Amino acid sequence: MITLSKLDYSYPSGDTALSSVTVTVDTGALVGLVGANGSGKSTLMSLMAGLYTPSGGTLSVAGYTSPGDEKAIRAACRMVMQDADLQILGATVEEDLLLGRKRTDESVTKAKAMADRFNLLESWDKSVQTLSWGMKRKLCLAAALLDEPQVLLLDEPFSGLDFPGMREMRKIIVENMQAGLTQIVSSHDLECFVDIVDELAVLDSGCLVLTGPPDTVLDHVISHGVRPPCSWNAGLGVKPWDDAE
């Protein structure tokens, strides 16, 4: 589904953000993209979403290649940014979910069903400014899934969430995985999702330094600014984050 080959990216200032990143993500996989702040996670996700064009190398997403097919990649992917306020454009939940869509009985019914899945239906006609941080994050995710993307990119989806919100986000991600959706989840903290990912991809200063199933890379992440999960540090392996689930 996603192939990155010697991918480079430099900012207009000339500063290098990513260097020679090579990785493959299978269809339906859930990959955790981890690294310390400033390691290049958000930039890499923006490239995979077709928002940026590589400075060097190539990337292929859903059969489309960049440089060249960025528009098609944007149609195949949806990215949910860390800051929901930067992504919400509608004044109400209803308006945001239907923004850019032809209003028909079918589209309204579909949007309401998605709002119901995310426990947003009771806020259907409420101002988005009255929503909590977690509800805003869910609104962005609901809008992304309405487009039925082939790839979902979640940038720091657990940031700012309380414990119930984290549990709900995990549930949503697992449901997407069970439905066969290819997902990339970025985070600087492994604790709340390492047990559900298929593979980890670790960035350090713009370079991909580790890839593989969690139990093959967790012994090495600390040297790249990432804290292993508590269960791993305690010698218990990769344990479910929440036994109540």
Instruction: Tell me which DSSP letter residue 102 carries.
Output: -
Give the number of other Cβ atoms within 10 Å of residue 243's Cβ: 6
Tokens found for residue 53: 């064009």
For residue 53, give the 3-state DSSP assignment.
coil
Measuring CA to CA, which residue among 194, 195, 193, 182 is closest to residue 25? 182
Phi, psi of 30 (to 5 degrees): -115, 110
Q: Is the peptide bond before 229 cis (omega within 30 degrees of 0)?
A: no
pLDDT tens digits in sequence order for the chain, 245 residues long? 899 999 999 988 888 999 999 999 999 999 999 999 889 999 999 999 999 999 999 999 999 999 999 999 999 999 999 888 888 999 999 999 999 888 899 999 999 999 999 999 999 999 999 999 889 999 999 999 999 999 999 999 998 888 888 998 999 999 999 999 999 999 988 998 999 999 999 999 999 999 999 999 999 999 999 999 999 999 999 988 765 44
Torsion of CA 220, 194, 40, 178, to 10 degrees: 140
- Which domains does the chain show, CATH number per domain? 2-87+149-233 (3.40.50.300)
Q: How far apart are CA 103 and CA 108, in angstroms?
A: 7
Tokens 């969430």 -> residue: 161
For residue 172, give the 3-state DSSP assignment.
helix
Kind plus residue range of the DSSP H or E element containing 188: none
Q: How far apart are CA 78 and CA 141, in angstroms?
A: 9
pTM across the whole model: 0.91
For residue 64, give the 3-state DSSP assignment.
strand
Q: What is residue 243's predicted lDDT score, i.e. its pLDDT? A: 53
Give the number of other Cβ atoms within 10 Å of residue 100's Cβ: 9
Tokens found for residue 237: 């392996």
Q: What is residue 245's predicted lDDT score, i.e. its pLDDT? A: 45
Instruction: Tell me which DSSP letter residue 75 carries.
Output: H
Measuring CA to CA, which residue among 59, 73, 69 is closest to residue 25? 59
- Starting at the edge strand that comes first in sequence, how are the strands of the sheet with 77-80 ordered? 77-80, 151-155, 182-187, 30-34, 199-204, 207-212
Measuring CA to CA, which residue among 115, 27, 118, 41 is closest to residue 81? 41
